[in-house]
Amino acid sequence: MLFLDLFKNKILWAVVASGLSTQVLKAFASVIWEGHINWRRTLEPGGMPSSHAASSVTLATIIGLSAGFDSLLFALTAYISLVVMYDAAGVRRAVGKQAILLNRLLESQALRKRAGGEKLRELLGHTPVEVIAGGFLGVFWGLVFHYVF
């Protein structure tokens, strides 16, 4: 019976819908940068918009609307959302920039062979605009699930 309660959890479904729809939106956003829909983008980190920001802000929004914006639970989820967004635009973006530089260093055949031939993933984090766009999508999904479902 407890497992079936998961299917009734509106907050959980709001976060799942927010994250999945944002990942799918990345495939369509790739038209702007790549000239075509890139379905691989749905499974990759980074890019426009940030699904981490969207899902964490959805969680904070729907909890704020449900439990009150002065509640302890909202304060906790809002803080976690800020940490997630800071990490996406700060730490993970810096790691992506480092990967770009390391890949350039490894372009020589000798160095690449020594490193095992692996190319590092470069698109890991987000620009501030990608995080803000994800945040707006998060507010949208929180409002939709609170008022519609």
What is the average pLDDT across 59-88? 96
State pTM to two decimals: 0.80
The residue ranges of every structural domain in the chain are: 2-90+125-147
Which is more confident, 114 or 134?
134
What gap in Å lies between CA 100 and CA 69, rounded to an integer? 41
Residue 91: is its pLDDT beyond 80?
Answer: no
Q: What percent of the chain has pLDDT over 70?
A: 78
Query: pLDDT class for 47, splitting at 50, 70, 90?
Result: confident
pLDDT value of residue 45:
75
What is the average pLDDT across 56-81? 97
- Beta-carbon neighbour count of residue 127 at 10 Å? 15
Peptide bond preceding 128: is omega within 30 degrees of 0, i.e. cis? Answer: no
Burial class (CB in 10 A: 0-12, 13-18, 19+), 25: buried
